[in-house]
């Protein structure tokens, strides 16, 4: 199977999703980036610095861990890709480090970012401290409250955290505010977007920067199982970056089944959900054409998930395409199922996952495997930031 639409065309479209819908004032900034990103990322100089930082600073390669007790429970050979062990606790750092190296090479001196759970804010604040660049992070006021430890880390790292009080006061609103800032400072500011969303070339740039995940999976599987591909790849999806990184080198490999878990919230047919792939309709948000939660007259429906990192009303264009073409299977995992899955991984393997990652763990009981199936599941982050939520709901 060869799906050309799984890579963006020259205008950044994956099938009918993607593109670059930006205000006039950002047109040149986005176009400069479109022309610059591939030559920079593919240059030997970039690759050398990026690879060195991923190894010595982030701590890559992240382990591929054969989870024996969980394997027994689910009747398959389950391997966990441990992005939770990266510096700063999630996969986000792969992207932030990569984009700041792009920013430096484009001569940009000021960094802005949006954040939901705070993981992307922390990763970007970390990269800015490392590179000595000023950093402003927009964060919804609700998220500032529920993700205090990450707010404190960003401040410790020297970033300015600007709480956003509009809308639901979560990720969508923070993104609006970051775009507003970018419009005011298009010449000197680099906007480090934290997921495979936004106008082209961001979804492709972020996917490429995260593709180190599947590159490592290929090597690690060959070493541990004697075969360099799995039967299943599983990842949770907010905007889509950890999933894009997990799938990247296998995206046209029909031997590999791709499974995404999106946040069901209180149930996809309730009015409290963030399952935008399954209940969304086509529209334009934050610079690209995607599936999004909206009313018939185009008003955004406020998303809801227990997990701040999945609480976004849309999903990036690549994943919209993977869903629309049937290449990826999408399951919704509700709050209670994610919580149960987080406790299960903790008590079975001694790994406390991020609430976002708990959503893909919560997909395991919904799937049927054969005993020989090799299943690789990406644990996108660790649960330190979610301890309050976990302890509040803990029953045993
Ligand atoms: C941000 C985040 C996500 C969701 O973002 P994607 O871009 O879909 O990967 C998932 N897991 C963790 C730990 C996160 O911090």
> Length of the chain in residues, anyone?
396
User: One of 62, 81, 83, 92 is an active-site residue; which one?
Assistant: 92
* Ligand 1 pocket mutation, candidates 121, 236, 360, criterion most atoms within 8 A of CB: 236
* Other CB atoms within 10 A of residue 393 CB: 14
Residue 395 confidence (pLDDT): 77
CB 252 within 8 A of CB 93: no
Strand partners, 290: 283
Contact predicate 356/381, CB 8 Å: yes
The tokens for 211 are 């593709």
User: Quick check: is 114 catalytic?
Assistant: yes
pLDDT of residue 119: 93
* Residue 147: per-residue pLDDT: 87
Contact 244, 91 (CB under 8 A): no
Q: What angle do CA 301, 17, 192 make, to 5 degrees?
A: 75
What pLDDT, on a 0 to 100 scale, did the predictor assign at position 146? 82
Compute the distance between CA of residue 320 and CA of residue 317 in angstroms, rounded to an integer: 5
Q: What is the mean pLDDT of each run of 10 residues along the chain (396 residues)?
A: 79 98 96 98 98 98 98 98 98 98 97 94 98 98 90 97 94 94 95 97 98 98 98 98 98 98 97 97 97 95 92 95 98 98 98 98 98 98 93 84
| Token couple for 87 | 């510096």
Would the CB of 242 count as within 6 Å of ligand 1? yes
- pTM above 0.85? yes
Q: Is 114 in the pocket of ligand 1 (CB under 6 A)?
A: no
3-state class of 390 per DSSP?
helix
Nearest to 174 by CA among 240, 253, 116: 116
Q: Supply 274's token pair.
A: 């963030």
Residue nearest to atom 10 of ligand 1 (CA): 356
pLDDT of residue 243: 98
Which residues sit opposite 139 in a β-bridge? 115, 163
Q: Does the Cβ of 198 fall within 6 Å of ligand 1?
A: no
User: Is any ligand 1 atom within 6 A of the Cβ of residue 95?
Assistant: no
Residue 63 pLDDT:
98
pLDDT number for residue 394? 85
143 CA to middle of ligand 1, Å? 14
Residues in Cβ contact with 59 at an 8 Å cutoff, skipping those fewer than 6 apart: 85, 86, 87
The crossing angle, in degrees rounded to 10, of helices 317-324 and 202-210 is 80
In the prediction, which pLDDT does 270 show?
96
Q: Which atom of ligand 1 is nearest to the CA of 237?
A: 8
At 1 the pLDDT is 44
């Amino acid at each position: 199977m060869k799906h050309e639409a799984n890579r963006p065309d020259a205008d950044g479209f994956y099938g009918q999703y993607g593109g670059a819908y930006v205000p006039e004032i950002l047109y040149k900034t986005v176009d400069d980036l479109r022309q610059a990103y591939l030559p920079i990322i593919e240059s030997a100089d970039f690759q050398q610095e990026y690879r060195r930082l991923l190894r010595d600073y982030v701590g890559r390669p992240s382990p591929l861990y054969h989870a024996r007790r969980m394997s027994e429970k689910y009747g398959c050979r389950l391997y966990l890709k441990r992005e939770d062990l990266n510096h700063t606790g999630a996969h986000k750092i792969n992207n932030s480090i990569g984009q700041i190296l792009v920013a430096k090479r484009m001569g940009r001196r000021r960094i802005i970012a949006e954040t939901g759970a705070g993981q992307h804010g922390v990763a970007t604040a970390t990269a800015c401290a490392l590179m000595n660049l000023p950093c402003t992070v927009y964060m919804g006021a609700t998220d500032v409250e529920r993700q205090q430890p990450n707010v404190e880390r960003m401040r410790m790292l020297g970033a300015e955290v600007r709480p956003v009080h509009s809308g639901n006061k979560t990720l969508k609103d923070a993104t609006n505010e970051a775009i507003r800032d970018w419009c005011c400072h298009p010449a000197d500011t680099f906007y480090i977007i934290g997921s495979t969303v936004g106008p082209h070339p961001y979804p492709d740039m972020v996917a490429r920067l995260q593709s180190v995940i599947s590159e490592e999976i290929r090597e690690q599987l060959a070493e541990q199982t004697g075969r360099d591909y799995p039967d299943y790849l599983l990842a949770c999806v907010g905007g889509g970056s950890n999933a894009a990184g997990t799938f990247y080198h296998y995206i046209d490999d029909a031997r590999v089944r791709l499974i995404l878990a999106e946040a069901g919230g209180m149930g996809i047919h309730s009015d409290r959900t963030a399952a935008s792939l399954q209940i969304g309709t086509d529209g334009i948000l934050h610079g690209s054409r995607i599936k999004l939660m909206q009313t018939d007259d185009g008003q955004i429906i406020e998303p809801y998930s227990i997990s701040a990192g999945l609480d976004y009303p849309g999903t990036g264009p690549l994943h919209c395409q993977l869903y629309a073409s049937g290449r990826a299977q999408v399951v919704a995992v509700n709050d209670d199922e994610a919580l149960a899955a987080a406790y299960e991984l903790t008590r079975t393997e001694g790994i406390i996952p991020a609430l976002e990652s708990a959503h893909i763990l919560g997909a395991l009981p919904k799937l049927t495997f054969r005993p020989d199936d090799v299943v690789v599941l990406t644990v996108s982050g660790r649960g330190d930031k979610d301890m309050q939520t976990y302890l509040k709901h803990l029953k045993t």
